[in-house]
Amino acid sequence: MEILLHICCGPCSIYPVTVLKDKGFLIRGFFFNPNIHPFLELERRIIALETVSNVLDFPVIWDTQYGLKDWLDTLDGKLDFNDRCLPCYAIRLEETAKMAVKLGIKTISTTLLYSKYQRHDKILEIGNKSAFQHGLEFYYEDFRQGWQKGIEASLELGIYRQPYCGCIFSEAERYSKRMNRLMKRLEKKNNFLENPRMKEA
């Protein structure tokens, strides 16, 4: 059976692709992630997935746009973690469903189901909804059970492993402690502004 597998990145694709192949699925990957910023990060993740698709021998359909603006338009100013992730899943799975219809593929799924850091139940709910609206099946499996195997395989391949989810907001959250330390250090440097002698000068 053919499946259109939405792929968020190379490391997250290894375990699901291996499992689906073992189950006899004919896989076509679909890289559509307007949520990945900045551009150099997107480029690194694309190169990592190119390596995985060559090694595991499956084709990938690539989104050829840098979707930052469209992604921000979709969120419409809802940038908090609780607001932004669900539309972020939805635009990616909706686009996957549309692509599957175009290709005549009846089943879709996503490597987002591999991540321990994503909202698994919501991905399932949104995936089912998008598939249903387009007359497709959403293939569900809890790929998180292969978390460690996927990490080890990606380290063996030596591919880029990203330190944050994808959007610029997740990058800021990932480094929030480091950012706070830096800002405090700079605030101390600015203390001379409070020095009365400096004010007189």
Q: How far is the CB of 93 from ligand SF4 (least distance, A)?
A: 12
Site for ligand SF4 in 33-62 (CB under 6 A): 35
Work out which of 5, 12, 60, 88 binds ligand SF4, going by CB under 6 A. Answer: 88
CA dist., res. 110 & res. 182, Å (int):
37
- Separation in Å, CA 79 to CA 65, 95, 149, 166, 190: 22, 21, 33, 13, 30
Q: How far is the CB of 179 from ligand SF4 (least distance, A)?
A: 16
Backbone angles phi, psi at 134, to 5 degrees: -110, 15
Work out which of 84, 96, 111, 123 binds ligand SF4, going by CB under 6 A. Answer: 84
**Number of residues binding to ligand SF4, judged by CB under 6 A:** 9
Per CB under 6 A, the segment of 41-49, 56-64, 101-109, 161-169 that binds ligand SF4 is 161-169
The amino acid occupying position 77 is G
User: Which CB sits closer to ligand SF4, 85 or 126?
Assistant: 85
Look at strands 107-110 and 2-6 and give their pairing: parallel
Take residue 12 and report the two structure tokens written for it.
């997250």
